[in-house]
Chain A
Amino acid sequence: MTNPIIHMEGIKKHFGNVIALNGVTFDVFPGECHCLLGDNGAGKSTFIKTMSGVHKPTAGTINFEGKPLSFNSPRDAMEAGIATVFQDLAMIPLMSVTRNFFMGREPTKGRGILKRFDIDAANEICVEKMRDMGINLRAPDQAVGTLSGGERQTVAIARAVHFGAKVLILDEPTSALGVRQTSNVLSTIARVREQGVGVVFISHNVRHAMAVGDRFTVLNRGQTLGTASKGNITPAELQDLMAGGQELATLEGSLGGTV
């Protein structure tokens, strides 16, 4: 049995008198997709921001590759190998795919005053990595603005993986996408997982989570309600857990199970 890449135990986060997280326990193994589910306001965002170094937990421990660790900034977390793809994706529509891919981490050649951006190598790597993810670029100098939402998501994921992510946190990657694009992103996640990266998939869509997830953790009102592995839980049960179980059950009949 391998050890988890990251293990977070009893994480609490208070903002003044607001208790955003009240004891969350979560871990990710290499090559697994661990879904974090919860309704709006459950504390998903606060939790991933704690994981990616934006917030410092009020209480609780973080073990990264077996060693206790505390991140002071998102940079620390990034350098350790925790990459987060936020909903805004950190993409610049007017710039080419390659330039976005290597933004801030450009490959260079030459030295001293002749040190320059190795655009040919960058284009080559970019096209290759995108092909690995199942996207054929028209040209590497194609502007990101011409890509669809799902393709942009894939560029962001490919970029994170290329720069050595061990844990990849995806913040609602499918929430704004159509059916076809969603399935593309889900298959991208599957590819990333095969490369041994631990994926944290945040969603409130149970069906998307069931499609790629190995384990499921449900957050509700700042607390973990429990973790289940694939096959031990039905979509309906997950849905109930997320909603707290009560109101949805009464709605179920009138909605005909479509939620």
Chain B
Amino acid sequence: MLAKANPGIDERIKSEPFMTRLMKRPELGAIGGVILVTIFFMITADSAMFTLSGIMNFMTPAAQLGILGIAAAMLMIGGEFDLSIGSMVAFAGMIFGVFTVNVGLPLIFAIPLTLAFAASIGAVNGMIVIRTGLPSFIVTLASLFILRGASLVGLKLFTDGSTQLRGVRDAVENDFLTPIFSGEAFGFVFRKLADIGVLETFKSGLPKVPGVPVEILWFIAFALVATYILLRTSAGNWIFATGGDSNAAQNSGVPVRRVKISLFMVTAMAAALVAIITVIDAGSTDARRGFMKEFEAIITAVIGGCLLTGGYGSAIGAFFGAIIFGMVTIGLTYTDFDQDWFQVFLGGMLLIAVVFNNAIRKRVTGER
């Protein structure tokens, strides 16, 4: 007689230990990377790196890159690339500079207009990719050069021949929206903490760290919103489906075109946001702004667990990927190493991440 099988449990499947489940998360590599890099700098770097001001120091560039990286990750999950992100930062910076300085618009108009402008260029990128069926890699490579060139020409046009547009600081200084896009937030909390002696202070009694740089807050907020969209909304499911197999997604009723075009628009707007934040911060914009950021953003996404083939990845992973990036860029200055090791390190990181992700993918899909 055959033993009667328990209908609820398949006897061939072992229960899965917590660690194995953890191993299947796309973020795992990036989180592991943050831990490794932290240990590395704990040992090699000056202890100043992990003080509050040291952390703010490396989180600021991490945040600027991370906003781009999270957008790039979402687009990559949707199965496309955008190589024009870096140039878009320069172009949006130029547009924003022209709106605020040359036209003299207040931020409440200048910012939405800049974002809308960037979004429309993103939409054009997306439409070209969809209409022609060409790889987005090649289409956005073209946009990379077009936008970079257009930024140069535009800057010269609006500044009588200079490649730098100054005066943004003066133009927006007294705008009520400036504190949202520039400077430090929660200053009062930090002053309070300094008063009661929790934070280190200067001789004047002011805290050494005046607050949280706003870009860090934007970065965290964007990571949370992106994660929520990816994991808890229909749109998120459509993004994964579109990247996984756009044909299957289309046949199942997913609006594949709309998903892809929206993702290109989000990426372009993320670039514009970074442009706005950094341009207000610097007070000027130039044609080299955002140089090479497209590659750094893609590396961030890959370290964060995105597959180059699409359909898999996470925004939280890209969040940690960006932190690794910031730690390495800034951290090397706290060590005795030559700073130019940075790029070697970056290449190594990328290679390890890709190999690791590939192994993870095989685990998830049960390939043998």
| Chain A: minimal CB distance from B358 (Å) | 13
Q: Which residue of the partner chain, among B231, B236, B365, contacts A94 with CB atoms under 8 Å?
A: B365
Contact B365 A92 (CB under 8 A): no
Q: Top 10 A-B pairs ranked by shortest CB distance?
A: A145-B365, A146-B366, A104-B253, A92-B244, A106-B234, A90-B248, A104-B252, A104-B254, A103-B252, A90-B251
Residues of chain A within 8 A (CB-CB) of B311 are: 92, 94-95
| B153 CB, min distance to chain A CBs, angstroms | 40
B325 to chain A, nearest CB (A): 26
When the two chains form their complex, are residues B364 and A145 in contact, meaning their CB atoms are under 8 A apart? yes
Contact residues, B323-368 vs A (CB, 8 A): 361, 364-367
For chain A, which range describes its interface: under 10, 10 to 19, 20 to 34, or 35 or more residues? Answer: 20 to 34
Are the CB atoms of B364 and A117 closer together than 8 Å? no
Q: What residues of chain A have their CB less than 8 Å away from a CB belonging to chain B?
A: 74-75, 78, 86, 88-95, 99, 102-106, 108, 115-117, 119, 131, 136, 138-139, 143, 145-146
Assuming A74-B251, A91-B248, A103-B252, is B364 touching A136 (CB within 8 A)? no
The answer to whether A136 and B9 touch across the interface, beta carbons within 8 angstroms, is yes
Q: Are B366 and A92 closer than 8 Å at their CB atoms?
A: no
Among candidates B7, B8, B10, B367, residue contacting A145 with C-beta atoms closer than 8 Å: B367
Residues of A within 8 Å of B254, CB to CB, are: 103-104
Quick one: closest A residue to B12, CB to CB? A138
> B13 on the interface (CB 8 Å rule)?
yes
Instruction: Tell whether, in the assembled complex, residue B364 and residue A94 are in contact, meaning their CB atoms are under 8 Å apart.
Output: yes
Shortest C-beta distance, B146 to chain A (Å), equals 33
Is B365 within 8 A of A93, CB to CB?
yes
B233 CB-CB contact with A under 8 Å: yes
B203 within 8 A of partner (CB): no
Which residues of chain B in 286-315 are interfacial with respect to chain A, using CB atoms and an 8 Å cutoff? 307, 311-312
User: Complex Cα distance A138/B9, Å?
Assistant: 8
Q: Which of B7, B232, B233 contacts A136 (CB 8 A)?
A: B7
A-B contact pairs, 27 of them (CB 8 A): A74-B251, A75-B253, A78-B253, A89-B248, A92-B311, A93-B244, A94-B307, A94-B312, A95-B311, A99-B237, A99-B241, A103-B248, A103-B249, A103-B252, A104-B241, A104-B254, A106-B234, A116-B232, A117-B233, A119-B231, A119-B232, A131-B7, A136-B9, A143-B365, A145-B366, A146-B364, A146-B366
B92, chain A: closest CB distance, angstroms: 26
Q: Give min CB distance, B238 to chain A, whole Å.
A: 7
Contacts of B8 in A (CB 8 A): 136
B245 within 8 A of A: yes
Q: Once bound together, how far apart are the Cα atoms of A215 and B236, in whole Å?
A: 43
B365 contacts across to A, CB distance below 8 A: 93-94, 143, 145-146
**Taking the complex as formed, is B219 at the interface, i.e. its CB lies under 8 A from any CB of chain A?**
no
B240 in the interface, Cβ–Cβ < 8 Å?
yes
Q: What's the Cα separation between A131 and B248 when bound, in Å?
A: 24
Question: B residues within 8 A CB of A117?
Answer: 232-234, 236-237
- Chain B residues near A104 (CB-CB < 8 A): 238, 241, 249, 252-254
- List the B residue with the shortest CB-CB distance to A115: B233
Shortest C-beta distance, A126 to chain B (Å), equals 13
Residues of A within 8 A of B252 (CB): 90, 103-105
Please tell me if the beta carbons of B312 and A105 are within 8 angstroms of each other in the complex.
no
Residues of A within 8 A of B233 (CB): 115-117
Judging by beta carbons under 8 Å apart, are A94 and B244 in contact? yes
Asked whether B366 lies within 8 Å of A143 as measured between CB atoms, the reply is yes
A133 to chain B, nearest CB (A): 13
Please tell me if the beta carbons of A94 and B253 are within 8 angstroms of each other in the complex: no
Minimum C-beta distance from B236 to chain A (A): 7
Are A138's CB and B13's CB within 8 A? yes
Mark out the residues of chain B between 226 and 261 whose CB falls within 8 Å of any chain A CB in the assembled complex: 228, 231-234, 236-238, 240-241, 244-245, 247-249, 251-254
Complex Cα–Cα for A74 and B236 (A): 24
Distance from B286 Cβ to chain A, minimum over Cβ atoms (Å): 38
Closest-CB distance, B327 to chain A (whole angstroms): 30
Q: Which of A75, A90, A91, A103 has the most CB of B within 10 A?
A: A103
- Among B234, B247, B249, the most chain A Cβ lie within 10 Å of the Cβ of B234
Chain A contacts of B16 at CB under 8 A? 138-139
Tell me the bound Cα distance from A131 to B10 in angstroms. 12
